[in-house]
Amino acid sequence: MPVQGKEIGRGQYGVVFACESWRGPGPCAVKSVVPPDEKHWNDLAMEFYYTRTIPEHQHIVKLRGSVVDHTYGGGCTPAVLLIMNRLSRDLYCGIRSGLKLLVRLQIAIDVVEGIRYLHSQGLVHRDIKLKNVLLDYDNRAKLTDLGFCIPEAMMSGSIVGTPVHMAPELLSGHYDSSVDVYAFGILFWYICAGNVRLPFKFEKYQNKEQLWVGVQKGTRPERLKCFDDQCWTLMERCWSADPSERPLLGYVLPQLMSIIARYTLEASQVKPRPKRSCSLDGCHCTLDDSLSMSFSL
């Protein structure tokens, strides 16, 4: 049984704890879940199955194994422990900490590569959001929480996901892999915004039912002043109401690469601030140097 350390995360149905090691080198994380009903037992089974059976990928969190803890709650209700490689934090925390734009754009590329990989395996994630994107210690992204993941051929009738990121057709139960493209469009809004605040246009809704109605009527996040035309156009295409108008991820990826290349070039062309001479008699340092010295005294 893995030894659970301090709590490092919490979700609707479970808690994530740190664990120093378990069946392999290096630290890991233990996701402890108490499924409230049969449906959630099934979701857990799906998460374990897909994270264990699909070939390992650099942008999908690796699952080491699972354990059923029959002693949880005095043995009344068993808990399922999913043990996976421990990463640094999720994208929600990363953005809140002030990740630079170029780092965030690289994360967007990593996410698209992870989604493309799942799609290549015939799977649809169905719950792409900030807290399901984990970052390693180099701020490279991996997708996690495959409990809602399902073969595309089996999708019908089930409504899953997180309301803000849910494509309008998800509510009808008839959808395809393009729901992940829609969710990425919303995720990309947060990535470009550089904050985790709910889009202003969504703040007026008091519950998820109102939000769903608004999304079906065409409500989408607003354009912020910091968005350039290429980023905004990509978002709008991804969250198009018509699934057939959403771009393929094979198109999205080079668009993101073009955006990050442009910003990298612009950053390299920024001229350094000219150094001003210090006016103190007999001093040969620059003003920047003298300011640094005055604050270090």
Residue 117 and residue 199 in one domain: yes
Residue 44 and residue 163 in one domain: no
Domain C-terminal end among 85, 117, 148: 85
Measured in whole angstroms, the distance separating CA 270 from the mean position of its chain's CA atoms is: 30
Residue 169 and residue 79 in one domain: no
Residue 191 lies in a domain: yes
Residue 13 and residue 114 in one domain: no
Residue 155 and residue 13 in one domain: no
- Tens digit of each residue's pLDDT (9 = 90 or more) over 267-286: 888 776 665 554 444 444 44
- pLDDT at residue 288 greater than cutoff 80: no
- Catalytic position from the list 43, 69, 110, 127: 127
In the chain, the number of structural domains is 2
Residue 140 and residue 38 in one domain: no
Which range, of 120-124, 129-133, 151-155, averages the lowest pLDDT?
Answer: 151-155
**Domain at 162, CATH number:** 1.10.510.10
Residues spanned by the domain of 46: 7-85
Residue 276 lies in a domain: no
Residue 77 lies in a domain: yes
Annotated binding site for ATP: 31
Complete DSSP assignment for 137-194: TT--EEE--GGG-EEGGG-SS---S-GGG--GGGGGT---THHHHHHHHHHHHHHHHT
Annotated binding site: 31
Is 127 a residue of the active site? yes
Residue 42 and residue 167 in one domain: no
Between 50 and 205, whose confidence is greater? Answer: 205
Residue 189 and residue 134 in one domain: yes
Residues 125/180, Cβ–Cβ less than 8 Å: yes
- pLDDT at residue 147 greater than cutoff 70: no
